[in-house]
Amino acid sequence: MPEGVSNGTKRPHSESPSAPPAAGPMQKGQQVLFYFESDAGDPKAPLLFCGPSRSKGNGKQQGGGFMFVASHTWLYGTLEQAVDPAKVNSEQKETWPLVLPKGEYNFVTRKGTPVPSATMPQRVRWVCDAKTPPCKLSLLFVRWGGEYSKWMDEQEANDGDWGKYGSPPSDEYMGHVVEKGFKKHPSLHSPEGMPQWELHHVLVASSKDALQIAPQAHMIRAGMKGPRRAAFWMLWPAEWEDFGDPDYACYVERHAMFAAMRACEAAAIRSIFPHPADQYELITSKSWMATLSLHPGVQLPAATVVSKGAVKVNVEAAAENALRALHHIRRLNPFPVEDGDPPAPSAVNKDGVVKGVVKLGWSWENRFVVTFTSPKHLQARLKEMMNQQGCLATYCVVQEWVDFDFEMRQYYLPPPTWPAEHPIQPTMIQCNAWGPSDDSKNVGVSRASFSKLTEAMVLDKWDGDKEAWEMAKEKATSIAQILLAWLLSAEHQPIPSMRLDFMVKRIGPGKARVIFGEYCEQGACVLGWLEGPPTIWRACVDAALRCLGFVELAERSMEARAGPVLIWSLPDLRDSPDELPAPTLARPSVSLKSVSCSGSLVTFATTEGQLYLLDAAGDDAPRLVEALRSKDVASAACSPSGMVLVVTSAGSIYKLNSPAGVQEKAAQGNEKAAALMAASMLAAFGRLEQLPLPVQITRAACGREHSLLLSLQGLVFSFGEGRRGQLGLGNVQSASTPTCLEDLFTVKQPASRA
């Protein structure tokens, strides 16, 4: 077997994976490591075959089973041409090194068909002459390898969708995780941008395939080169037989899935998405709805578990005992009701439980939630739920009815220091309403319409009662502290993120009632929240790196999270020496990767590659720079005169100039007036100009009248006003275009890209 391909034996790993690229020219015929990249979502793309045993001539397993492949990894090869790394341009593939992979590698499609062309010489972006792959983290997608309906990819925008990313088991979603998650994470790359991660895939097409993962978990672990490993489980656990229908693809029988997860975790492949096995099983089982309903702090409706056996033996007794259990639980743990408040949690059950819902665990949306309105009706619902063809469920949850006006969804991303004394605040709050339920429809189909609500729509529903709205948010946030802490009982490590759903009702002027509805796993629908999925993916990788010991203190302190940002500007102390500014707390709904400021002008670069501008002295909120929407911004720098330099992820440099009126005021020395106009005018009317440079730029800095640029190769360029010699060119001339400081020694890139 060649180096870099697993044969089931353990390979020593390097604990210092940050191998640099070659410092000087590399010769033809030189042995190198190169970074192999492919798209596992493309049915024709080549993937490195890693196991398990396969039949002769292709990658398909004898007798079925899963397939283990890699789409992003370091491999060994030979240079077919001499190459100077300093002349490699990321945007010009013809400048990339030409490498012949070692002949022993086998490349196949995701269906197991051999791809001989992948063994031929190929252009690759990254090569290095290290002896050990520079890989600090091995990532794994456990995903569907069979056919699935395109509804998972090609979703039309609607109020209940996942946004533009597709659903988690889809190829589209995982493609976005790679492009906007792994490739954008600074801790997974060297300062030069070299990938220090790899990505493997376990492809299954049935629950039977998933059952074969557990016995092969150590083989999978041995095939992952990184000293640390983490898995994304992109399948849905279910209690159904396999139907073989593409509409029911990506569902895996829960015992098979959780056995596979636990075996991989025992082999030191940590589950980071959606959750570790024990925690994920607890959340998706819905059994917590019953066990937590006696906890007075979580405000849950009374619930109990009814087994399939009880329904089969005597459905009348099962229904009667379930209603008696609900009544007893509610009596022991009553909701607080003040004088004048309506009954809690519903008016219909004020004299005893007669109305409620029956739910299946390991199910999503409202397709397996049905209502009942009498003991006789409950009997029918229990039989209907437990006797579905192909259903393997051993129990269902019976829960009392809740009166509510709408649902509130709160998204939490606990900081690295959590658990802590201070409450966690939600990163995002959304609301949605349900239409009347059509109970004439069968189990397994949606029976109610769904619509998103803005805050304005919520206030309109509540007659403008903002006090009640604020109370609802405060109560939900308070309940959330207990709910998030309770999850630590199933997994000692803090969750990277969680969505909590609450049922909210206005019960009087300035008063709201909040009742907990559901835990929703990472990867659950985010109602089109554009920055939501990338923020969650980043949080998952951050959590993996922290727990696996790879995040430096400096990197942790500068993590890009959608958390609070403090903004303030200094007044003229000559006019008001006793007045110091109070910071303004901004809680952005996007994930930030860099912030810069000059005077009162602030720039925010998001992990989505967008740039926002804010005048801290006058603007209420940052403004999106429309001209840069398609440029994938990495960072920015701004000057007091209202000019912004923008660095893209590809290394291009753009200059965003303010309109002429702002520049004239700056030229007259009126910098305050210029800054006040800069954010609003730049965002809406800024003039974008690309600076032509033969190198990739990684950093930009702006002075009062001049600017500096740092290239990927460590070269420094300057331009702007030079009458004081500030350009470093040995004269007092100004330069309108960037000029290389040839007399300056090459500048070493900083250790952190934060």
What confidence tier does 131 reach under pLDDT thresholds 50, 70, 90? confident
Residues 429, 542 within the same domain:
no
Residues of the chain above pLDDT 70, percent: 80
pLDDT in the model for residue 29: 94
Residues 607, 709 within the same domain:
yes
Evaluate the CA torsion angle 281, 369, 250, 449 in order and state its sign. negative
pLDDT at 294 over 80: yes
Tell me how many domains the chain contains: 3
pLDDT in tens, 373-385: 999 999 999 999 9
The residue that leads in pLDDT, 551 or 543, is 543
pLDDT in tens, 150-197: 655 555 545 555 557 888 898 999 999 999 999 999 889 988 889 999
What confidence tier does 685 reach under pLDDT thresholds 50, 70, 90? low
pLDDT at 582 over 80: no
Residues 364, 499 within the same domain:
yes
Residue 31 lies in a domain: no
Residue type, 745: F
Positions of E strands within 234-329: 236-238, 251-253, 270-273, 303-307
Positions of E strands within 649-751: 653-657, 687-690, 697-702, 706-711, 716-720, 735-740
Mean pLDDT of 582-605: 70
- What is the C-alpha separation between 496 and 499, in angstroms, rounded? 11
pLDDT at 754 over 70: no
pLDDT in tens, 309-341: 999 999 999 999 999 999 999 999 999 899 999
Residue 78 lies in a domain: no
Task: Single out the residue of 66, 244, 240 nearest to residue 142, CA to CA.
Answer: 66
**Domain end marker among 521, 543, 576:** 521
- Which of 204-208, 233-237, 476-480, 525-529 is least confident? 525-529
pLDDT in tens, 695-704: 778 889 998 8
Write phi, then psi, for 660 (nearest 5 degrees).
-55, -40
What confidence tier does 114 reach under pLDDT thresholds 50, 70, 90? very high
Task: Determine if residue 257 is left, alpha or beta; phi over 0 gives left, psi from -120 to 50 gives alpha, anything else beta.
Answer: alpha
Q: Which residue has the tokens 């004299």?
A: 351
What confidence tier does 551 reach under pLDDT thresholds 50, 70, 90? very low
pLDDT in the model for residue 313: 96
Residues 582, 711 within the same domain:
yes
Task: Provide the token pair at 206.
Answer: 């049935």
Q: Which residue has the tokens 């802590």?
A: 420
- Under a CB-based contact definition with an 8 Å cutoff, are residues 22 and 97 in contact? no
Range picked from 4-8, 600-604, 629-633, 700-704 for highest mean pLDDT = 700-704
- What is the C-alpha separation between 96 and 34, in angstroms, rounded? 11
pLDDT in the model for residue 681: 55
Rg (Cα) of the chain, in Å, rounded? 29
Structural domain boundaries enclosing 674: 563-740
Residue 34 lies in a domain: no
The residue that leads in pLDDT, 670 or 637, is 637
What confidence tier does 745 reach under pLDDT thresholds 50, 70, 90? very low
Residues 671, 571 within the same domain:
yes
What confidence tier does 662 reach under pLDDT thresholds 50, 70, 90? very low
Contacts of 29 (CB under 8 A, 6+ apart): 78, 79
Residue 19 lies in a domain: no
pLDDT at 199 over 90: yes
pLDDT in tens, 499-534: 999 999 999 999 999 999 999 998 888 877 888 899
Residues 174, 301 within the same domain:
no
pLDDT at 419 over 60: yes
- The CATH number that applies at residue 653 is 2.130.10.30
Residues 609, 727 within the same domain:
yes
H/E stretch holding 512: strand 511-520
Mean pLDDT of 232-244: 91
Mean pLDDT of 602-609: 83
Task: Provide the token pair at 215.
Answer: 């016995």
pLDDT at 706 over 70: yes
What pTM, to 2 d.p., does this model score? 0.71
Residues 436, 302 within the same domain:
yes
- Under a CB-based contact definition with an 8 Å cutoff, are residues 137 and 228 in contact? yes
Residues 542, 504 within the same domain:
no
- The CATH number that applies at residue 246 is 3.40.50
- Which of 78-82, 95-99, 362-366 is least confident? 362-366
- Which of 322-336, 355-369, 595-609 is least confident? 595-609
pLDDT in the model for residue 293: 95
Residues 450, 538 within the same domain:
no
pLDDT in the model for residue 682: 58
pLDDT in the model for residue 559: 36
What confidence tier does 614 reach under pLDDT thresholds 50, 70, 90? confident
Residues 426, 461 within the same domain:
yes
Residue 597 lies in a domain: yes
Residue 59 lies in a domain: no
Nearest-5° Cα angle at 520, 489 to 271: 60
pLDDT at 570 over 70: no
- How far is Cα of residue 580 from the mean position of the Cα atoms in its chain? 39
pLDDT at 656 over 60: yes
pLDDT in the model for residue 264: 96
- Under a CB-based contact definition with an 8 Å cutoff, are residues 185 and 540 in contact? no
The chain-wide mean pLDDT, for the chain, equals 82
- What is the C-alpha separation between 483 and 480, in angstroms, rounded? 5
pLDDT at 558 over 60: no
Residue 21 lies in a domain: no
3-state secondary structure 456-484: HHHHHHCCCCHHHHHHHHHHHHHHHHHHH
Terminal-residue alpha carbon distance, the chain: 39
The residue that leads in pLDDT, 362 or 210, is 210
- Under a CB-based contact definition with an 8 Å cutoff, are residues 404 and 411 in contact? no
Mean pLDDT of 489-498: 88
The residue that leads in pLDDT, 742 or 748, is 742
Residues 567, 463 within the same domain:
no
Positions of E strands within 578-632: 584-586, 592-598, 601-606, 611-615, 623-624
DSSP 426: P
Mean pLDDT of 78-94: 90
- What is the C-alpha separation between 753 and 193, in angstroms, rounded? 9
What confidence tier does 448 reach under pLDDT thresholds 50, 70, 90? low
Q: SS3 for 184?
A: coil
> β-strands 67-79, 107-108: how paired?
unpaired
Residue 754 lies in a domain: no
